[in-house]
Amino acid sequence: MPAMAMRIDLSDVRRFERDLGALYKNALPYAVVDANNGIAFDMRGSWNGRLRNSFTLRNRFTERSIRVDKASIADSRAIVGSVAPYMKTQEFGAKEKKKGRYGVAIPTNEARVSKDHKKLVRKHYQVQNITILRNGRLQRGPNARKHRNRVAIAQAAAAPAGKRFAFLDFGVRRGIFEVRGSSSKGGRRVGKHRIRMVQDLSHAMVDIPKRPTLAPTVQRGLHRGPSIYVKALQRQIDRQRLFKTRH
């Protein structure tokens, strides 16, 4: 043996190489799947929180519409989205055009709980729950609109309580009105009755403003994403006991 020799132990280097291989083949793919699913479910929770703060939700349908398609080893993409068709309109806004002869039905404050524009529309004032009696033969001419209104009010007044609605056209403004007795408070007096608009049909097209909840949720997810990836990778390293110091 030489008088002077150096012994090199490569066992740690070889273990490090093996751990790197295991990291690439086993730990990293599972960490990516774990992290993507974690981000998706984190976004779903954040999105639902924004929905509760931004909208008046009648029930949990909108919250339950937020779904997650989980990632897997075969497909590492995790997708979060809503199956409710109206969420796209809320996110990006839209233009709604009339579907019939008259304008787009817009609930008025009179139709809402506590007459507050932020509150829900009362069920019996929702347009799909309102029945309008059809007028019979009506006169034509310069006073035809006034005549149609008088006939519609009279027919509505004779209807059972809770169903006294009439379509009235006052030129610039038209819509569905509730007809009440003259002793009732509020509304507009017409002859022996008082009327109040519950659905405004004055506009052929209305702009639905965008109220984004997904975009800020995505921004939050991008901010939280790196830390979620780091934690997911560390879990896989610990689970597979990689890069442990041997004594």
- Is there a single domain that holds both residue 223 and residue 180? no
Residue 86 lies inside a defined structural domain of this protein: yes
Residue 246 lies inside a defined structural domain of this protein: no
Q: In terms of pTM, does the model score above 0.85?
A: no
Q: Say whether 76 sits in a helix, a strand or coil.
A: coil
Q: Residue 1 pLDDT > 80, yes or no?
A: no
In the chain, the number of structural domains is 2
- Is there a single domain that holds both residue 202 and residue 234? no
- Is there a single domain that holds both residue 196 and residue 125? yes
CB atoms within 10 A of CB 97: 11
> What pLDDT does residue 10 have?
53
> What pLDDT does residue 61 have?
94
User: What Cα–Cα distance (Å) separates residue 138 from each residue in 70, 143, 153, 160, 181?
Assistant: 62, 11, 14, 23, 24
Predicted confidence (pLDDT) per residue in 108-125, tens digit: 999 999 999 888 899 999
Query: For the residues 70-88, what does the mean pLDDT come to?
Result: 95
Predicted confidence (pLDDT) per residue in 182-221, tens digit: 788 888 888 889 999 999 999 999 999 999 999 999 999 9
CB atoms within 10 A of CB 149: 21
- Is there a single domain that holds both residue 129 and residue 144? yes
Contact 224, 39 (CB under 8 A): yes
Residue 2 lies inside a defined structural domain of this protein: no
Q: Which of 118, 49, 57 is nearest to 86 (CA)?
A: 57
Residue 196 lies inside a defined structural domain of this protein: yes
Q: What is d(CA 124, CA 178) in angstroms, rounded to the nearest whole number? A: 11
Residue 220 lies inside a defined structural domain of this protein: yes
- Is there a single domain that holds both residue 200 and residue 215? no
Domain of 15? 11-92+209-239
